[in-house]
Structure 1
Amino acid sequence: MPRVSGKEDRDKSLVRLGAVIRARRLSLDLSQEALADVAEIDRSHMGKIERGERNVTFLNILKIATAIQCRPSDLLREADL
């Protein structure tokens, strides 16, 4: 059986998580740059997370959740993960 790359997001999980992060950010009227600043994540990396282009680390999920005032589990549940 061929090995599946860890970079392949067949279920679009990263896209769904990114969409949830973006929706929460917008509901707080935060710019992407402001969220990145509060979460201490590079702005361009934040954009890639929101577009589902990056396999976001657990530590960054924690930082983002803190910055948008929710629990990491809320983000994952809303993304149906």
Structure 2
Amino acid sequence: MLAFNVRLHRVEKKLSQEQLGFVAGLDRTFISQVERARINVSLDNIEKIANSLEVSASELLKWPEL
């Protein structure tokens, strides 16, 4: 769910992976790996991504309401 929600919120905010990575202080390739569920993400990095997307960390971990 994390991968789906990060991409969903990033696209809604009209941010590129590079822009999100810059704001979060993370590399673009890291954001790409998160969105493809290729890596395990620490709680610290989930928090950085959530803050950058202006959502709560729990929002990134729950099932989306489509």
Structure 2 residue aligned with 1:32: 17
| Structure 2 length-normalised TM | 0.91
Percent identity over paired residues: 38
Gaps of 5+ in 1: 1-15
Distance 1:47 1:57 in 2: 15
Structure 2 residue aligned with 1:59: 44
Distance 1:51 1:30 in 2: 17
Determine which structure has more spread, i.e. the larger CA radius of gyration. 1
**Greater share of helix residues, 1 or 2?**
2
Gaps of 5+ in 2: none
Displacement after TM superposition at 1:71 (Å): 0.5
Q: CA RMSD in A?
A: 1.0
Displacement after TM superposition at 1:76 (Å): 1.0
Moved over 4 A (4+): none
| Structure 1 length-normalised TM | 0.75
